[in-house]
């Protein structure tokens, strides 16, 4: 049994391990090639997050999904590069919107070079992803365009907030489906599609990716509260400090509306206060870690991970399917 990639997936079959490792290595080379420019400064900025590392979660899914067809098909690795470039581009933009100082344990691009360079570097990565995508055919372009529209729509909906009368939790889950689920679904879809897998297999893996993507983000929400050292390189409680209402906070507010308990109201008021103060921020983290709202968010994470696992049921039993199931377990473990 060998651990593959920073995400910690254990692969028991040597042939599958070799295919996945070779694919991820090729993706890494493809990312570096795609982020080169004739202008050295652009290369430095574009490769900033590539060289900082990351879980390469989406390329891993492309490689595993390709096992249901021909994993050596010529479109598999380029499609993984496209998906990861798109993801990286969104990180540059997210850090500007969130005014983040750190990403993956290094200075964020906006912290290092300013907002304008960070935004334009993200645009550069989108352009390079589109360039590669053009060689994969019009269907691939359409799929990526639809996913990108969903991703942007999710970001806008998050910024705008729920409309009057809309349940905030339902709104938030829809946001995550767009912001995160859409691109993870494309990773699975591209892997299967580029490998020539049957259309029914492509559909199954797309549904799996959508649910797994939401579970993955929900696990991040839990980790932001519960973990002492955040996997993404962010300081614990970053979302709290920035006033971003992730699922644990939304579950707390839901409980306040339903039960009206004094201690819940007090915690909600604390979370709505100025958490740039270190002492107040530490108190908020400590109290939320011990609150039932965090456990409810964990249960939500498990639910989406189980839905992802259930979506795989029609697929034939094989090592690739076992690895996809294990990813569901790993996501739940992260939130544990």
In the chain, domain spans: 13-195, 198-335
Q: What is the mean pLDDT of residues 198-222?
A: 96
Q: What is the mean pLDDT of residues 47-51?
A: 85
What pLDDT does residue 6 have? 53
Q: Return the higher-pLDDT residue of 322 and 101.
A: 322
Bridge partners of residue 9, in order along the sequence: 4
Whether 151 has a pLDDT exceeding 70, the answer reads yes
What pLDDT does residue 96 have? 73
Segment 276-335, tens digit of pLDDT: 888 999 999 999 999 999 999 999 999 999 999 999 999 999 999 999 999 999 988 887
**Is 13-195's fold the same as 198-335's?**
yes
- Which of the four pLDDT bands, split at 50, 70 and 90, describes residue 106? confident
Whether 140 has a pLDDT exceeding 50, the answer reads yes
Residues 120 and 110: beta-carbon distance below 8 Å: no
- Long-range own/partner contacts, residues 220-223 (CB < 8 A, 24 or more apart): 220/334, 221/246, 221/247, 221/248, 221/297, 221/301, 222/247, 222/248, 222/294, 222/297, 222/298, 222/301, 222/334, 222/335, 223/334, 223/335
The Cα–Cα gap between 81 and 116 comes to: 25
What pLDDT does residue 229 have? 56
Q: What is the mean pLDDT of residues 202-209?
A: 98
DSSP states of 194-262: HTT--HHHHHHHHHHHHHHHHHHHHHHHHHHHH-SS-TTSPPTTHHHHTT---HHHHHHHHHHHHH--H
What pLDDT does residue 117 have? 85
Whether 111 has a pLDDT exceeding 80, the answer reads no
Q: For the chain, what is the mean pLDDT? A: 90
What pLDDT does residue 336 have? 63
What pLDDT does residue 241 have? 85
Segment 11-23, tens digit of pLDDT: 767 889 899 999 9
- Which of the four pLDDT bands, split at 50, 70 and 90, describes residue 69? very high
- Which of the four pLDDT bands, split at 50, 70 and 90, describes residue 1? very low
Q: In angstroms, what CA-CA distances link 234 with 35, 102, 244, 294?
A: 24, 6, 14, 19
Class of CATH domain 13-195? mainly alpha
What pLDDT does residue 230 have? 44
Quote the CATH superfamily of domain 198-335.
Answer: Farnesyl Diphosphate Synthase (1.10.600.10)
Whether 109 has a pLDDT exceeding 80, the answer reads no
């Amino acid at each position: 049994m060998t651990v593959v990639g920073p995400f910690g997936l254990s692969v028991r079959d040597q042939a599958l391990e070799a295919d996945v490792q070779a694919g991820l290595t090729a993706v890494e080379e493809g990312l570096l090639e795609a982020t080169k420019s004739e202008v050295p400064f652009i290369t430095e900025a574009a490769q900033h997050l590539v060289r900082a590392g990351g879980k390469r979660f989406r390329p891993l899914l492309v490689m595993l999904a390709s096992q249901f067809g021909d994993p050596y098909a010529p479109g598999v690795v380029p499609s993984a590069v496209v998906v990861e470039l798109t993801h990286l581009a969104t990180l540059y933009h997210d850090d500007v919107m969130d005014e983040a100082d750190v990403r993956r344990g290094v200075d964020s691009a906006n912290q290092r070079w300013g907002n304008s360079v960070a935004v334009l570097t993200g645009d550069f990565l989108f352009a390079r992803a589109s360039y590669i995508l053009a060689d994969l055919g019009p269907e691939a372009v359409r799929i990526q365009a639809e996913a990108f529209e969903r991703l942007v729509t999710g970001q806008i909906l998050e910024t705008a907030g729920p409309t009057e009368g809309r349940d905030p939790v339902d709104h938030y889950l829809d946001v995550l489906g767009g912001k995160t689920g859409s691109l993870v679904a494309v990773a699975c879809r591209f892997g299967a599609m580029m490998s020539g897998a049957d259309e029914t297999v492509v559909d199954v893996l797309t549904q799996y990716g959508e649910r797994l993507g939401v579970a993955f983000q929900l696990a991040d929400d839990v980790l932001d509260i519960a973990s002492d050292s955040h996997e993404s390189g962010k300081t614990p409680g970053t979302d709290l400090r920035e006033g971003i209402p992730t699922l644990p906070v939304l579950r707390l507010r839901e409980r306040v509306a339903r039960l009206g308990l004094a201690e819940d109201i007090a915690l909600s008021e604390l979370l709505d206060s100025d958490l740039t103060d270190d002492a107040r921020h530490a108190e908020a983290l400590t109290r939320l870690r011990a609150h039932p709202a965090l456990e409810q968010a964990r249960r939500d994470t498990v639910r989406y991970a189980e839905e992802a696992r259930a979506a795989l049921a029609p697929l034939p039993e094989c090592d690739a399917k076992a690895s996809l199931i294990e990813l569901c377990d790993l996501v739940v473990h992260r939130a544990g």
